[in-house]
Chain A
């Protein structure tokens, strides 16, 4: 066994770490969030320029990698800076789907260059976290298709140039590429709890040409499954970075805040809780590592590792958020301090790609089947 990152991964990690430190400090982030745009063109351009969109895409698709570890290394560092850019939506999910399906090299090239943004419009209003319940419909219409349906809480839908939409065509699942300006497509765009943006997407007789169909049947399902798995791994790694940031802030605060004439970290009641918090973060790191390494070896072990890490991230994310805030006292509940924003992101991660309960059930099913 070797738990060390490769030189390439160390380089990516350092690059993002430096980028977040130099270009994306907390004040910058807060400004982007408060402007309500969901992201910053400048920052997005820099992310693309650093080759980071390509980092999570396979070489065949013009990328630089795209393995589980690639995703985990990148997202952990973005998590540390609670970056709100549409990286998950565009690079991990949208471009991930295009790369899986293949044959969209020009579009991918523009995505990699930072010129085009994508969103993955899959989950539906009645489905909760069920990725298999799709009521949206694609009717064959001459050479093309007409789409109707609703998609719910689609991350960064409002900023996307293209949406990748799932819909049932002829009782088979299909994936469609829908331009943001298509007639009949409307997006109710809104801010999210964690400073990002999302949208409710309505497809009201959206007519598309033949070329809009990306895949159907088993190919489409495989692309959707892989996208969601990439999403799970990505947010889990992001959560790890965010938890470490919360831990560091809290530890520092325990050493510097004094009450009753001593640093509050001298109180044993707080020491033990800080230790428990750190322990949980280490547990998360282990499961993120496991999921990342297993990611490229399809099979039940991989699937179990993904649900395991999502469960752990949900539980530890709650503990780390709540305890960090509590150990800070009043300062922990303020908008102007990073911790609250970290806690909000950690909490919302539990509300994406299936929450703790959903993945506990999935883990049990996988265990039973094994």
Chain B
């Protein structure tokens, strides 16, 4: 037993580090590191930087322009991306739709849809959840009724992440009623600019603009846009949800947050003139979180190496999501505490490109509370932590 990365893995890490150092736009990286949101153009440009190197679609095979990374390579890439300040790769096209099409799409869909994801021509968003169907996704009500060589779609999706930037949406729609709710669902590829599609932003509690409601009113969708077979969409959706959970532990992000927080703790003075790192009340919490993360990192690697050796990453990803989200939420809590009263001002605009106002207090304080509030989402989306526990107790423990 040993816990070192192989020479090849280390060489890969060095290559990623160098490529990002040479090609990641510094202004984009600054924003990401300071917790501000990169613009649409900055995200598209970043995707192009990765696509140029063949590193945008980590799990796709090379013949479709993917990187065909191993699970460990994905992990190493993520560590380097986060450390460099690269934006999170928008997952909907490359990590969600891509794998579904590769597994279940027609050859024509693969040939037309996949290249446009890599080129940045298409921005996909995910139309699963509905107002009445969150955890109980199979109860979804949006309908698609066959009319000649079209489906006519009516209904509403919600929580559609970055839908405001998207020109495409993959949706789960009901094509048959009666029977088990899972059985009448189909997976449709739709245009956001088709007549009858409208979108309304949902502002989040931290003031952010990342989710939307999407309404379908007699939207006509060519039957060729059906993925796989009619009424088999649930199978594809479940396959996709599995992919959604890859990397969900967020170990690289957590390590970076811990590093930043440790720096803050070494620079910030408490009421008695001691550094926070020397203040046992703070330092104990920081240390406990680090210990959890050390364990988590190895748990994650154990599961990744298992997956690499052919064991399928199944239920374990639920465990990773649970612990990973707890640690990351705790880190946001400690970070806003570390900044003390300077967590109170709400001035995200000082981090925008070209802003010339100074922050109030330390720069790192600006997004500390908004991030704490925003990160409530990570234990809700992608299957809430309660649902993850249900999965583990049923599938892993047989309860």
Contacts and interface: CB of A to CB of B under 8 A. Distances in A.
A329 B279 contact: no
B345 A153 contact: yes
Contacts of B389: 269
A361 B281 contact: yes
A352 B345 CA distance: 12
Contacts of A330: 129, 134, 158-159, 211, 377, 380-381
A3 interface: no
B135 A128 contact: no
Given A193-B370, A330-B380, A343-B373, A351 B385 contact: no
Given A198-B344, A332-B380, A355-B337, A127 B271 contact: yes
B204 A334 contact: yes
B134 A193 contact: no
Nearest to A262: B136
Interface string A328-370: 0110111110001101100110111011011011000000000
Contacts of A123: 341
Contacts of B336: 347, 351
A273 to B, nearest CB: 9
A193 B341 contact: no
A258 B205 CA distance: 23
B267 to A, nearest CB: 13
A49 interface: no
B168 to A, nearest CB: 22
A332 B385 CA distance: 15
Interface in B105-160: 129, 132-136, 139, 158-159
A351 B380 contact: no
B196 interface: no
Interface string B361-399: 100000001101110110111001110011000000000
B270 A128 contact: yes
* Most chain A CB inside 10 Å of its own CB: which residue of B272, B279, B342, B380: B380
Contacts of B381: 330
Interface in B316-354: 329, 333, 336-337, 340-347
B26 interface: no
Nearest to A130: B271
Contact of A260 (B136, B282, B329, B384): B136
Contacts of B159: 330
Given A326-B380, A335-B205, A351 B344 contact: yes
Contact of B205 (A191, A259, A343, A358): A343
B202 interface: yes
Contacts of A348: 343-344, 369
A355 B386 CA distance: 30
Contacts of A152: 341-342, 361
B135 A260 contact: yes
A193 B343 contact: yes
B360 interface: yes
A130 B207 CA distance: 31
B83 interface: no
Contacts of A361: 281
B266 interface: no
Contact of B271 (A128, A200, A344): A128
B269 interface: yes
A128 B341 contact: yes
A340 B384 CA distance: 18
A326 B369 CA distance: 17
Contacts of A322: 329, 376
A340 B379 CA distance: 15
A193 B136 contact: no
A186 interface: no
B302 interface: no
B53 interface: no
Contact of A333 (B205, B282, B343): B205
A334 B203 contact: yes
B346 A357 contact: no
Contacts of A270: 386
A350 B334 CA distance: 12
A269 B207 CA distance: 30
Contacts of B341: 123, 128-129, 152-153, 351-352
Contact of B360 (A200, A334, A355): A200
B346 A334 contact: no
* Most chain A CB inside 10 Å of its own CB: which residue of B202, B269, B341, B390: B341
A17 interface: no
Contacts of B133: 259
Contacts of A352: 341, 344
A326 B134 CA distance: 13
A336 B213 CA distance: 13
* Most chain A CB inside 10 Å of its own CB: which residue of B133, B337, B361, B377: B337
B204 A325 contact: no
Given A330-B129, A332-B376, A336-B203, A193 B271 contact: no
Contact of A326 (B132, B282, B346, B385): B385
A125 interface: yes
A192 interface: yes
Contact of A259 (B136, B158, B203, B376): B136
Contacts of B269: 126, 128
A193 B202 contact: no
A188 interface: yes
A19 interface: no
A335 B279 contact: no
Contacts of A318: 333
Contacts of B129: 330
A191 B377 CA distance: 23
A39 to B, nearest CB: 16
A122 to B, nearest CB: 12
A200 B345 CA distance: 10
Nearest to A340: B205
B386 A267 contact: yes
Nearest to A123: B341
B346 A193 contact: yes
A103 B333 CA distance: 45
| Closest 6 pairs (CB-CB, A-B) | A340-B205, A130-B271, A335-B203, A259-B136, A357-B281, A153-B341
26 contacts: A123-B341, A128-B271, A128-B341, A192-B345, A192-B346, A193-B343, A193-B345, A259-B133, A326-B385, A329-B384, A330-B211, A330-B380, A330-B381, A332-B376, A332-B380, A333-B205, A336-B202, A340-B204, A340-B205, A340-B373, A344-B373, A347-B336, A348-B369, A351-B336, A351-B340, A354-B271
Given A152-B361, A258-B132, 15 more contacts: A127-B271, A128-B340, A191-B345, A194-B344, A259-B133, A259-B135, A269-B389, A325-B376, A326-B376, A329-B384, A330-B211, A334-B204, A347-B372, A348-B344, A348-B369
Interface of A: 123, 125-130, 133, 152-153, 188, 190-194, 198, 200, 258-261, 267, 269-270, 318, 322, 325-326, 329-330, 332-336, 340-341, 343-344, 347-348, 350-352, 354-355, 357-358, 360-361
